[in-house]
Amino acid sequence: MTSYMENDTDTHRNGAADSNHHTAKKPKLTTLLPISEPLIHEEFSHHQPGVARLNNGSFGSCPRSVLAAQSAWQLRFLQQPDDFFFNKLSPAILRSRAAVRDIINAEHVDHVSLVDNATTAAAIVLQQLSRRAALGHFNRNDTVVMFHCAYQAVKKSIEAYVTPIGGSVVEVQLPFPVRSDDEIVSEFKKGLEKGKLNGGKVRLAIIDHITSMPSVVIPVRQLIKICREQGVEQIFVDGAHAIGSLRIDVKEIGADFYVSNLYKWFFSPPSVAVLYCKDNSKNVHHPVVSQEYGKGLPVESAWVGMRDYSSHLVVPSILEFVNRFEGGIEGIMKRNHDGVVKMGTMLKESWGTILGSPPEMCASMIMVGLPSRLCVMGDDDALRLRSYLRVYHAIEVPVYYQALRNDDRDPRDKDGFITGYVRISHQVYNTIDDYHRLKTAVNQLLEDGKVCSGLPKE
């Protein structure tokens, strides 16, 4: 077992965030103990006791050892800000970028920027699109193609940056529940055809690697190959949930832009994300302009004015944490995937329902159908059930409403059509009891003859 210790001998720098000009120093290796169940418990002992946290997907989680490393960085800044700013910050950000580069297999650390979150990355990508439009690379019938269930912030970014330049959006319906990659590929192809109607060009395809709600792993490589064949100009993969739950190889994936949050499944504190840009050209900028403007996105992103950068500096400490698990991060991914499939299967069997996708189309989250008798008839009902489970049972789990398609693929249980799903997550701190509590809470509602619209509104 090895530990990555930050190397303190990095010297000088001559400005705020000129990290491109440094080479990352290899971390020192020391020995750490492998982790055990009690130690895992201790690492997450700041979690409120008694809460079944089945929603790692939304906000992630950060172990105590990484939080301690973050506090140490914050203190080092406060102890001697001038020295920190001139001598420590830039090399430390570079160390984090270099570590992430290895994880996602980017060509070079210059293609890797650390930003706050996927929302910031979406602004970066869409702003460069609108800048290209200003330079004449956009015509009236040009389009952006994406899934209808793309994350709301991404959709709003399109409204903010693409609509004003006269572009329109084609939304591809994600088939759900979904049975195979082919179903997704077929819908996506239709979307691309639509995007090219009236002589337009698809300027950008936005493809989730793992959709948020409903949650499904998307066959990105297949879709990107099709995009390239069809002449799509740029591809942005929203892998907000990917690092720590799926293996990522950005060279193999072949997108122009790839973002992944580190705080969801890679144990970082809030908040940090990686944005990979295949072409590290000067046309891509951070939305917050600082004195680093024009030095390339990685450098621009490393200084966006005075703020707390500690969450961007802890990647080596995260590696230390994950390497205490058998198989490191790959071992954690497998453990979570196997766990979520097992627990999802247990729930669907107890409730007599279905999984929203085959196990191979999920990573560390899976959709499980809720019994039709609960009558999840819309988003309000879904929210009511989610609040009820949190307030009355201390269970954190997102609930999703899926309208019927009115065809023979609409899923049924013994009493009727399934229109509600829970999205369960599995992270290393979860126990079987968390999922049994959810099973029992739902079964109790059925036993009491309750439907969602009758649940108290919190």
3-state secondary structure of 237: strand
Under the binding rule (CB under 6 A), the answer on residue 288 touching ligand PLP is: no
Q: Which of residues 143 and 212 has its CB atom nearest to ligand PLP in the complex? A: 212
Under the binding rule (CB under 6 A), the answer on residue 55 touching ligand PLP is: no
Residue carrying the six token digits 């190397």? 7
Please state whether beta strands 52-53 and 28-31 pair in parallel, antiparallel, or not at all (unpaired): unpaired
Cα–Cα distance for residue pair 372/400, rounded to 1 Å: 13
Q: Which of residues 260-279 bind ligand PLP (CB under 6 A)?
A: 261
- Beta-carbon-side half-sphere exposure of residue 453 (alpha carbons within 13 Å): 5
Under the binding rule (CB under 6 A), the answer on residue 117 touching ligand PLP is: yes
Cα–Cα distance for residue pair 59/259, rounded to 1 Å: 16
Interface pick for ligand PLP out of 35, 99, 118, 366 (rule CB under 6 A): 118
Are 55 and 426 in contact by the 8 Å Cβ rule? The answer is no
Q: Which of residues 216 and 452 has its CB atom nearest to ligand PLP in the complex? A: 216
Site string for ligand PLP, 72-111 (x = CB under 6 A): ----------------------------------------
Q: Which of residues 73 and 151 has its CB atom nearest to ligand PLP in the complex? A: 151
Site string for ligand PLP, 12-51 (x = CB under 6 A): ----------------------------------------
Residue partners of 121: CB distance under 8 A and separation at least 6: 115, 257, 259, 273, 275
Determine the interface stretch with ligand PLP among 134-142, 151-159, 279-287, 432-440 (rule: CB under 6 A): 151-159
Number of residues that bind ligand PLP (CB under 6 A): 13
Q: Which of residues 295 and 337 has its CB atom nearest to ligand PLP in the complex? A: 337
Q: Which of residues 27 and 214 has its CB atom nearest to ligand PLP in the complex? A: 214
CB atoms within 10 A of CB 313: 26
Under the binding rule (CB under 6 A), the answer on residue 119 touching ligand PLP is: yes
Q: Which of residues 233-262 bind ligand PLP (CB under 6 A)?
A: 238, 240-241, 261
Cα–Cα distance for residue pair 301/286, rounded to 1 Å: 6
Q: Which of residues 178-237 bind ligand PLP (CB under 6 A)?
A: 208, 212
Determine the interface stretch with ligand PLP among 30-38, 147-155, 226-234, 326-334 (rule: CB under 6 A): 147-155
Determine the interface stretch with ligand PLP among 150-158, 192-200, 356-364, 393-401 (rule: CB under 6 A): 150-158
Q: How far is the CB of 211 from ligand PLP (least distance, A)?
A: 6
CA angle 129–133–134, rounded 5-degree value: 120
Q: Give the chain's length.
A: 458
Are 10 and 91 in contact by the 8 Å Cβ rule? The answer is yes
Residue partners of 13: CB distance under 8 A and separation at least 6: 21, 22, 86, 87, 90, 91
Q: How far is the CB of 256 from ligand PLP (least distance, A)?
A: 17
DSSP 20: G
- Using the Cα atoms of residue 323, residue 325, residue 327 and residue 331 in order, give the sign of their dihedral: negative
The residues that bridge with 29 in the sheet, in sequence order, are 4
Angle in degrees, 0-180, between the axes of helices 89-104 and 315-322, rounded to the nearest 10: 40
Q: How far is the CB of 241 from ligand PLP (least distance, A)?
A: 6
Q: Which of residues 125 and 232 has its CB atom nearest to ligand PLP in the complex? A: 125
Determine the interface stretch with ligand PLP among 146-154, 158-166, 411-419, 429-437 (rule: CB under 6 A): 146-154
Q: Which of residues 6 and 238 has its CB atom nearest to ligand PLP in the complex? A: 238
As a whole number of Å, the end-to-end CA separation of the chain is: 47
Tokens of 317: 């400490």
Determine the interface stretch with ligand PLP among 113-121, 226-234, 295-303, 355-363 (rule: CB under 6 A): 113-121
Nearest alpha carbon to residue 378 among 360, 400, 361: 400
Positions in the binding site for ligand PLP (CB under 6 A): 58, 117-119, 151, 153-154, 208, 212, 238, 240-241, 261
